[in-house]
Amino acid sequence: MITLLIDNGHGKNTAGKRSPLMEDGRTQLQEWEFTRKVAQRIVELAPQYDIKPVILVPEEEDIALSIRAARANKYIRSNPAEKCVLVSIHGNAAGNGSAWMKARGWEAWTTIGKNNSDKLAEKLYDAAGKFFPAGTKLRADNSDGDKDKEKDFTVIKKASCPAVLTENFFYDNPDDCRYMLSFEGIDAIARAHLAGTIYYFTK
Ligand SMILES: [Zn+2]
């Protein structure tokens, strides 16, 4: 059994983390809501990929990062027969959400140093290249021989299984934001995480 632990970032009480208003003067992407939509779509599609999805944060409120990691590790300990990986799902921003910015694209982060998380990230980049529209900018840091960027974010640092944090497009870029608000975008982001997980275990 392959299990995908889904850390859907932030909560409705998280300050900021939302796009400027769209052209209609009303629509606005909120990062916490976006990450929960992606998580829900992963749950819907997971059977097609023979993956067991586990949502680590069923709450709408934000949950402390160390508790998110503790939930993941408790699950891993309690289910030793399952092959677990973790994705921490986020949306990116180049500014503070008060103005539209130019930066666009998709990227993935692992902790500093080399381990299986780097392999998982590489497979997620492969899947991103397959599922996102042609011309999507896959933002990579190739300086250490792989594409992922590296920083010791709490959840992926503390998780006791391969773990990658994905920044799924920029909600403060109008074109990326439109994609993130669309069913097409949510669906493709969910599929990229599921397919990347399968590639990790099979390729
Ligand atoms: Zn975030």
Q: Give Cα 70 to chain centroid, integer Å.
A: 18
Taking the model in full, what pTM does it have?
Answer: 0.97
The predicted-structure confidence for 122-172, as pLDDT tens digits, reads as follows 999 999 999 999 999 999 999 988 999 999 999 999 999 999 999 999 999
Span 1-29, average pLDDT: 96
d(CA 98, CA 94): 11
User: Could you tell me the CA-to-CA distances from 54 to 3, 42, 145, 158, 188 in Å, in that order?
Assistant: 7, 10, 31, 17, 19
Q: Does residue 203 have a pLDDT over 90?
A: no
- And the tokens for 195? 């397919």
d(CA 186, CA 134): 16
CB 193, CB 124: distance < 8 Å: yes
Span 75-86, average pLDDT: 98
Q: Which amino acid is located at 197 in the chain?
A: T
Q: Does residue 174 have a pLDDT over 90?
A: yes
> What residue ranges in the chain does DSSP mark as E strands?
2-8, 51-55, 83-92, 106-110, 149-150, 163-170
Ramachandran angles phi, psi of 45, nearest 5°: -90, -15
Q: Looking at the domain 2-202, which fold is it?
A: Aminopeptidase (3.40.630)
Query: Hey, where are the domains in the chain?
Result: 2-202
Ramachandran angles phi, psi of 174, nearest 5°: -60, -35
The predicted-structure confidence for 90-123, as pLDDT tens digits, reads as follows 999 999 999 999 999 999 999 999 999 999 999 9
Give me ligand 1 centre to Cα 203, in Å. 29
Q: Does residue 5 have a pLDDT over 80?
A: yes
Give me ligand 1 centre to Cα 35, in Å. 9
The predicted-structure confidence for 155-166, as pLDDT tens digits, reads as follows 999 999 999 999
Give me ligand 1 centre to Cα 88, in Å. 9
Give me ligand 1 centre to Cα 183, in Å. 20
DSSP-assigned letter for residue 48 = G
pLDDT at 1: 93
Give me ligand 1 centre to Cα 40, in Å. 17
